[in-house]
Structure 1
């Protein structure tokens, strides 16, 4: 049986670690009672081996084996670069 690989898009919110970045993934969820769509944000720790992701970039990440205690996602591509300069 082949496992389906999850790929999600998110925005880099922290890249101060070596070979790692924190990515915020947003999704819209419909409220059970009121039917209004509510925005939910999930933070993912991503392995970035070349330190190419900067704060504000939109990136694609895919699920992989656990690399450390919190990292189980890996950077696949940078969709859009940001103009944010530190």
Structure 2
């Protein structure tokens, strides 16, 4: 089994591709201060259902392209940015 990560969709520009930002908390070994480290992952979204701002779960899978190693598992929370047309 591969890794399962939870993060927020930061881009959905590519066809069947989303970019997820995963934030983790770390503690500095000497100063003991906690800080946030964010990492971006590209994931395969076969149905183009995730939108920017959604909280999603991704699962590690076989390589799909040069940079995609994850696949969209579930959408936990809808938080997409919706623009109102005038």
| TM-score bucket of the superposed structures, by smaller chain | over 0.9
Cα distance in 2 between the residues matched to 1:18 and 1:46: 11
Compute the TM-score of the two structures, normalised by the length of structure 2.
0.92
Matched, 1:37 2:34: yes
In structure 2, stretches of 5+ residues that fail to align are none
Matched, 1:57 2:54: yes
Q: Structure 2 residue aligned with 1:9, among 6, 9, 30?
A: 6
SS of alignment partner, residue 35 of structure 1: coil
In structure 1, stretches of 5+ residues that fail to align are none
Per-residue deviation, 1:83: 4.3
Runs of 4+ with >6 A deviation: none
Q: Structure 2 residue aligned with 1:79, among 55, 61, 76?
A: 76
SS of alignment partner, residue 16 of structure 1: coil
Compute the TM-score of the two structures, normalised by the length of structure 1.
0.92
